[in-house]
Amino acid sequence: MKWPDPTFSVKVNVTNPGQFFACCGLLELAHRLWHGAEGWFDEDELGPRFCVRALFSASARLNQVVEALLTCKISGLSDEAQEELKRLQAEEKRLRKEGRALPKDEELRLKELGNQARAGGLYLGAPFSLTLDWWQVEHDESSPKTWAGQQKPHKMARAAQEAIADINDAESLFDFPCVLRTPPEYSKNKSDKGKPVEPFCFDARRFAHALDTGFSLDVQDVETRAYPAVELLALIGLQRCLPASGSTRWALQYAVWSHPVSPPVAAAITSRKIRGSTKYEFQLLFRDDQKRYKAFGFAFPVGD
| Band of residue 202 on the pLDDT scale cut at 50, 70, 90 | very high
In a domain, 186, yes or no: yes
Q: Distance between the two ends of the chain, CA-based, in angstroms?
A: 20
Query: Residue 149 pLDDT > 70, yes or no?
Result: no
| Band of residue 8 on the pLDDT scale cut at 50, 70, 90 | very high
218: containing domain: 8-72+141-302
Query: Residue 182 pLDDT > 50, yes or no?
Result: yes
* Number of domains comprising the chain: 1
Task: Report the alpha-carbon distance of residue 174 to residue 73 in Å, rounded.
Answer: 22
Q: Which residues of 244-259 are buried (b: 16+ CB within 10 A; e: fewer)?
A: bbbeeebbbbbbbbee
Stretch 203-229: mean pLDDT: 66
In a domain, 93, yes or no: no
Q: What mean pLDDT, rounded, does the chain reach?
A: 87
In a domain, 264, yes or no: yes
Residue 216 near residue 288 (C-beta atoms within 8 A): yes
| Residue 286 phi, psi (nearest 5) | -95, 135
Stretch 250-278: mean pLDDT: 90
Helix axes 104-119, 153-164, angle to 10 degrees: 40
Better-scored residue on pLDDT, 95 or 59: 95
Task: Report the alpha-carbon distance of residue 34 to residue 150 in Å, rounded.
Answer: 37
In a domain, 134, yes or no: no
Better-scored residue on pLDDT, 236 or 208: 236
| Peptide bond just before 127 cis, omega within 30 deg | yes
Residue 68 near residue 33 (C-beta atoms within 8 A): yes
| Band of residue 210 on the pLDDT scale cut at 50, 70, 90 | very low
Stretch 239-252: mean pLDDT: 93
The pTM assigned to this predicted structure is: 0.84
In a domain, 98, yes or no: no
Query: Residue 282 pLDDT > 60, yes or no?
Result: yes
In a domain, 133, yes or no: no
In a domain, 109, yes or no: no
Stretch 12-26: mean pLDDT: 98
Low-confidence winner among 88-92, 183-187, 222-226 (lowest mean pLDDT) = 222-226
In a domain, 64, yes or no: yes
Check residue 226 and report its DSSP letter: B
Number of Cβ within 10 Å of residue 51's Cβ equals: 23
